[in-house]
Amino acid sequence: MIRIFLLTLILVLFHHPSFSQISGKITDSKTGEPVPGASIIISDEGRGTVSDAEGKFSVGTAGRLEISAIGYKTAIVQIRTGRTFYNIYLDPEEYHLQEVVVEAFNRSRRLLDVPGSLSLISAGQIEREKPVTVVPVLNQSPGVFAHSGALNTSRITIRGIGARVPYATGKVRAYLNNIPLTNGSGISIIEDIDPAIMERIEIIKGPATSAYGAGLGGTILITARKPELHPNQVSNNFQGGSWDLYRNTIGLDTGTESLGLSMQYNHTQSNGYRQNNEYRRDGVTAVMSAIPGENTEITVLLAYTSLKAHIPSSIDSATYANRPRAAAANWLQTRGYEDYDKMLAGISADHNFSPSLSGNISLFSTMQDEKEMRPFDVLNEARLGGGTRVKLTWSGTTSRGSYQILGGSELFTENYGYTSYENIGGMGERGSMISDNKERISYYNLFLQSDLDLSRLNLSAGMNLNSSRTDYKDLFHQNGINPSGRYSYGNIYSPRLSASYRYFQANSVFMTVSHGFSPPSLAETLTPDGFINPDIMPETSWNLEGGVRGNLFGNRLFYDINVYRMQVENLLVAERVGEDAWVGRNAGESVHRGLEGEFQIILFRSDTGNSENWWGLDEIRLTPNITVNDFRFTDFVDEGIDYSGKNLPGIPDHVLNAGISGQIKGGMYAFVNYRQVGQMPMNDANSLHYDSYRVTNVTLGYKNRVSQNLHADVFLFAGNVFNAKYASMILVNAPTFGNNPPRYYYPGNPLNFSAGIKLSYRFS
């Protein structure tokens, strides 16, 4: 009997958590990077340990762990019987922006130490804005200006680059989890990626990176929500509002210790403010993360979008003044629309071969099938592309700091077919075939980058080699004339040198010299007769910029200020030869000079020792930013007219965004955003200008825990609360046909409202 009792006691003691050894890894939830030096405290005992350089720790414990690190929110982890390893994710504190780790320049660095210009948009900021598309959030970043004609029609520009692209975002690279959102024609479609799936956005402004190739204006890097490896939760986010807006997102997160899955289904529809403005978008996104071994992590992404959106198009000045809700007459008559299905798929593997050598390989595929009903024709398009990104990184330490050398490549190929048919009488009935074309577009980027981090000084140097080729086949050539051909601009080398220096503990200065380019699309290489002009050259630029960023007054003020000068050569001019036909040519040079300032000011925070707090306030934060632009043609002659010295059209001379947010300890919150857009020229001659305008948006909400596992967020949004009349998109150099006046204007939404509720339930 005694033996049985002793054996039972030994087994109980052996299995009791207080005698078990617990280990784990602590990771930044936004970047996936390890968090070294994190404090792990056993809550019930007061003892603990710290994580090592790889974020790993080991401790004998029972009860629960309290994990904290500078710049991160404290996490509480309940220890479960029988579980010995824990993947723990820490969320960065938004007001410690200098501590936030970013990945945009292919090295994990605190924002304070990044030797270049960068804007970071966090998941919290996206959630706070309650956007239907991500464009309004991008528009609040200094240096970024987005025209938005409709939910499906945007033109995002960075530092004035891309302003002359008629109806889309061009000359700016975009990626979702390293999968290109930029198609073979150089157009980036970002607005159909639902904001609910986004974890963060990093915007590199100007040609400041070596690893992403042809981004004359910059690069937008979107990271999808990374699945956590242990919680199981479901969520539903509903939003309804003006013009029959209905938006619903259903989310599921589930996982084990080594496998996580995050799935989102979203549906958005609206009848729109204007005629012929109906919009419907459905999307499914799945992200899976697996850790098959201690040194390997695999991520799989699948994103499908189905969209149908009618097109109201632009209107002339008289219609804009008197009937802003009206659609363009020809687009209304034909009930013009675009209807497409799109899929992105990719798999990425990270592996640590040794403490010094790591590698990443990504395989991806893109697909799009689109039909567009236009007054002048019916266009069918099909794209099927794919490629790979490979990167090897060697890192180490010296007696004075650390270094990193990385190299890799990006290969991409796309088959693009497009066929047009008659639109009989402009009434929306498809007629005979007009054209049938195919393009095979392929390019490669080879990149090399080296970084040296000393105690206060960070140095970085990089080189990108790009080459592209387009094979064009006209399958509908007539009269024995075949304009089929091949276009290639050879190799382009783009170097970059940058440095940053931390002159106080939380303040730094940086400088960058870099080269960038933007290749012409095939349409820009064609002559009026439809033949390829091999003499068309890519736009190129040299960029010089410098700035300061840091924290002052005990983390109450964060600032990020930079100035730049970018000289663009071989400026591509699109000369319109038909309602939907352009020819391109290199016509001159432009200079882009500007100042960008981004600030975050903590006016009040309850943990800073305030003795009186009658209103129960938790925090009041002010987030202003300003952009000042001076973009001019330095040498530009078009059709015999000299525009040298004129301002570039489509870009305001300044933009001011000022946001103020407040939180009350009970869960109430409020956010007000004020946006002032300065005057902008509308054509190359600067003979027409659009006046400055101001728009104010307000969000009120309540966010709190309903029960131990159920969280709720209820909100009310009011857009353009002062009912300002403004054009949300300007068509640059709008043409005129026959006796019709030019159509420059896309009216912005007047006063509008929406409300919603988000419920999240986490299973025990």
Task: Write the secondary structure of 84-101 as one string of H (helix), E (strand) and C (coil).
Answer: CEEEEEECECCCCHHHCE
39-56: b (≥16 Cβ within 10 Å) or e: bbbbbeeeebeebeeebe
What amino acid is encoded at 407 in this protein?
Answer: G
Cα atoms found within 13 Å of the Cα of residue 238, Cβ hemisphere only: 4
Collapsed DSSP state (helix, strand, coil) of residue 572 = strand
Locate 542 and state its tokens.
């040299």
Quick one: tokens of 229? Answer: 């490896």
Rounded mean pLDDT of 275-291? Answer: 94
State how far the Cα of 123 lies from the Cα of 142, in Å rounded to an integer: 18
Full DSSP string of 680-719: EE-STT---EEPPEEEEEEEEEEEEESSSSEEEEEEEEEE
Answer yes or no: is pLDDT of 239 > 70. yes
Please give the pLDDT value at position 467.
Answer: 92
Q: How many residues does the chain have?
A: 764
CA dist., res. 391 & res. 372, Å (int): 38
Query: CA 311, 429, 331 angle in degrees (round to 5)?
Result: 25
**Span of 19-28, 157-166, 329-338, 374-383 with lowest mean pLDDT:** 19-28
Mean per-residue pLDDT for 42-54? 75
Lowest mean pLDDT among 101-115, 229-243, 632-646: 101-115
The confidence score (pLDDT) of residue 611 equals: 44
Number of alpha carbons in the 13 Å side-chain half-sphere of residue 624 = 7
The per-residue pLDDT for 95 is 46
Q: What is the mean pLDDT of residues 246-252?
A: 94
Digit-coded pLDDT (tens) for 377-418: 999 999 999 999 999 999 988 888 889 999 999 999 999 999
- In the chain, the amino acid numbered 375 is P
Which is nearest to 672 in space by CA: 698, 633, 707, 706? 698
Range in 101-105, 368-372, 389-393 with the lowest mean pLDDT: 101-105
- From 379, 367, 361, 263, select the one nearest 311 (Cα to Cα): 379
- Per-residue pLDDT, 13: 39
Q: 713 or 98, which is more confident?
A: 713
Q: Once rounded to an integer, what is the mean pLDDT over residues 539-568?
A: 92
Q: Residue with structure tokens 């003795």? A: 611
As a whole number of angstroms, the distance between CA 291 and CA 299 comes to: 9
Structure tokens at 452: 């040296």
For residue 273, give Cα distances in angstroms to 195, 457, 728: 21, 53, 13
Asked if residue 563 has pLDDT above 90, the reply is yes
Alpha carbon 135 to chain centroid distance?
A: 9
Strands lying side by side in the sheet with 85-90: 56-60, 21-28, 85-90
Predicted pLDDT at 579: 53
Helix (H) or strand (E) holding 565: strand 557-569
Q: Which residues have a Cβ under 8 Å from the Cβ of 131 and sit 6 or more positions away?
A: 137, 195
Q: Are 283 and 306 in contact (CB under 8 A)?
A: yes
User: Pairing between strand 668-677 and 654-664?
Assistant: antiparallel
Average pLDDT, stretch 277-292?
Answer: 94
Question: Do residues 407 and 150 touch, judged by C-beta distance below 8 A?
Answer: no
- What whole-number distance in Å separates Cα of residue 603 and Cα of residue 117? 26
d(Cα 585, Cα 571) in Å, to the nearest integer?
8
Cα 139 to Cα 115, 142, 622, 625, 696, distances in angstroms: 23, 8, 17, 11, 13
Mean pLDDT of the chain: 87
Residue ranges of E strands in 454-531: 457-474, 485-504, 507-518
Residue 322: Cβ-neighbour burial (10 angstroms; 0-12, 13-18, 19+): exposed
Asked whether residue 536 carries a pLDDT value surpassing 90, the answer given is no
Count of helices and strands (H, E) across the chain: 6, 47
Answer for the pair 240, 270: CB distance below 8 angstroms, yes or no.
no
User: In this prediction, what percent of the chain has a pLDDT beyond 70?
Assistant: 90
Q: What are phi and psi of 146, to 5 degrees?
A: -115, 120
Four-residue CA torsion sign, 309, 310, 314, 319: negative
Strand 21-28, strand 85-90: pairing: parallel
Identify the pLDDT of residue 585: 74
Residue range 580-607: average pLDDT? 83
**11 pLDDT more than 60:** no
Name the residue among 428, 375, 411, 334 with its Cα closest to residue 578.
Answer: 375
Residue range 441-458: mean pLDDT, rounded: 91
Residue 487 is which amino acid? Answer: Y
DSSP letters along 613-670, please? -TT-EEEEEEEEEEEEEEEEEEEEEETTEE-TTPBPTT--SEEEEEEEEEEETTSEEE
Nearest to 196 by CA among 288, 268, 264: 264
Residues 731-750 pLDDT 10s: 998 888 778 899 999 999 99
Q: What is the CA radius of gyration of the chain?
A: 27
Nearest to 185 by CA among 437, 482, 508, 373: 437
CB-count burial class (<10 Å; 0-12, 13-18, 19+) for 527? middle
**Cα 269–270–273 angle (5° rounding)?**
165
Q: Tens of pLDDT along 678-698?
A: 999 999 999 999 999 999 999
For range 614-624, the mean pLDDT: 79
608 phi, psi to nearest 5 deg: -105, 15
* Cα(577)–Cα(583) distance, integer angstroms: 7
Give the pLDDT mean for 330-344: 95
- Could you identify the residue written with the tokens 């393009």? 439
For residues 129-144, give the mean pLDDT. Answer: 91
Q: Which residue ranges form the domains of the chain, and what is each CATH number?
A: 2-90 (2.60.40.1120), 221-763 (2.40.170.20)
Lowest pLDDT segment from 193-197, 591-595, 656-660: 193-197
Do 428 and 335 form a contact (C-beta atoms < 8 A)? yes
Task: Pick the more confident residue, 68 or 348.
Answer: 348
Q: Write down the pLDDT at residue 639.
A: 76
Number of Cβ within a 10 Å radius of residue 170: 25
